[in-house]
Amino acid sequence: MRTGRLALVLMLIAAASLSGQAPASSWPQWGGPDRNFTISAPALSRAWPAEGPKQIWSRALGEGHSAIAEDRGRLYTLYRPLGLLSLVRRSQEEVIAAFDAATGRTIWEHRYAAPTGELNFEAGAGPHSTPLVAGGLVFATSSLNQLFALERDSGRLVWSRDLRREYGARLADRGYTCSPLAYGDTVIVTAGGRPGQAAMAFRQKTGELAWKGGDFDPSPASPLVIDVQGQPQLVVLGGDRVAGLDPDSGRLLWSHPHVTQFGLNISPPVWTGDELFISSAYNGGSRLLRLSREGDKTEVSEAWFTSRMRVHFGSVLRIGDHYYGSSGDFGPAFLVGVEAKTGRVAWQDRSFARAQLVGTGETALLLDEDGTLAIVRFSPEGVTTVARAPLMEATSWTPPTVVGSRVYLRDRENMVAVSVE
């Protein structure tokens, strides 16, 4: 009997491997397994020693804000090399790289030209996007609107698309920021620049264009797919709106105004059941939309709006009946709790600098821009710090990657692995 059960388990593992599906504990894309900066795991509740969590390894990396993807014991990210000459002039190339998650050792690199002449990197150099691991391939986008598909295990280039040269896509002055999204046998990215191509889908295996759609210029935010009463919908943020597209065809399903100064809608939306939460800095504010379907038509209604929560580029968590995030633009940033039903600001807290959040059950992992890593517990009454430690040395705008008890972090110079057991 035991032999039969063991055989069944081995068959299931083999089937998962052949299908290209990643293990449940992986972090294969921007935002994690479900692209929502939340993992299904027991809450982190143990305090750290004074020196912080146990460090597994640390290594020099390079400039950029690309987060770290993880799949089958390998890490994937992008960076712009640092060196003595970069003190005078930034490197004119970018790197897509794979690393051994256990040691930080480089496994492979793919380098490509990425000149800075058309880019404004005063706020920090790109690349800004995060790789996607899907179907045995790694998909990554450059600061100059290029999309690459590489073999996951070897780093060999399978195909590439230059969205500017081939499709006239718009180049943002701070560089392209979209993290690719897998849907079916396609990989979806934002584009803009020409009518009817706010988003574009390419076949994962060949790079063939599957569709393009949306008559608006997208913002720096990356798209996500939600389920609206059984219908998959692609959510894309523009500079003045949020829209839903059919992820199979690019057909526009709905659109709702969300105007932000400079078009900088950056923070990823949060989808919960039938509610879509959006927050932006500057004059953007936060709003909650309710989506429902009547036949083939999607109805959108605005439940509330508040200007008192303005999330610049950080992740937002929905825990219970509240949304939690780091609010602020040019000035100081506050942790803020907002009632999901009303939009009323329940509290503000200045315990941390501008921060990125990852939900871990009833707690959250927080990394602020000063390099402080913390475990916090949010509630309608406020935030409680379970553990905190200064960990990173340079500006830290990149969200943590959590796989099991390991946390992978990067700032603008280094990458670090720690254990939070």
pLDDT digits (tens, 9 = 90+) for 325-364: 999 988 889 999 999 999 999 999 999 999 999 999 889 9
Whether omega before 127 lies within 30 degrees of 0, making that bond cis, reads yes
Contact 286, 338 (CB under 8 A): yes
What integer is the mean pLDDT of 160-185? 96
Nearest to 417 by CA among 394, 395, 392: 392
pTM as predicted: 0.93
pLDDT tens digit string along 356-370? 999 998 899 999 999
pLDDT surpassing 50 at residue 2:
no
Q: Which helix (H) or strand (E) holds 19?
A: helix 2-19
Chain mean pLDDT for the chain:
92
In the block, tokens 């399978």 appear at: 158
pLDDT surpassing 60 at residue 7:
no
Nearest to 22 by CA among 160, 182, 159: 182
What integer is the mean pLDDT of 308-326? 96
CA angle 94, 99, 101 (to 5 degrees): 145
What integer is the mean pLDDT of 208-212? 98
pLDDT tens digit string along 129-151? 999 999 999 999 999 999 999 99
Helices (H) and strands (E) counted in the chain, each on its own, are 2, 34
Q: Give DSSP secondary structure letters for 333-371.
A: -EEEEEETTT--EEEEE-SSSSEEEEEETTEEEEEETTS
How far is 191 from 198, CA to CA, in rounded Å? 5
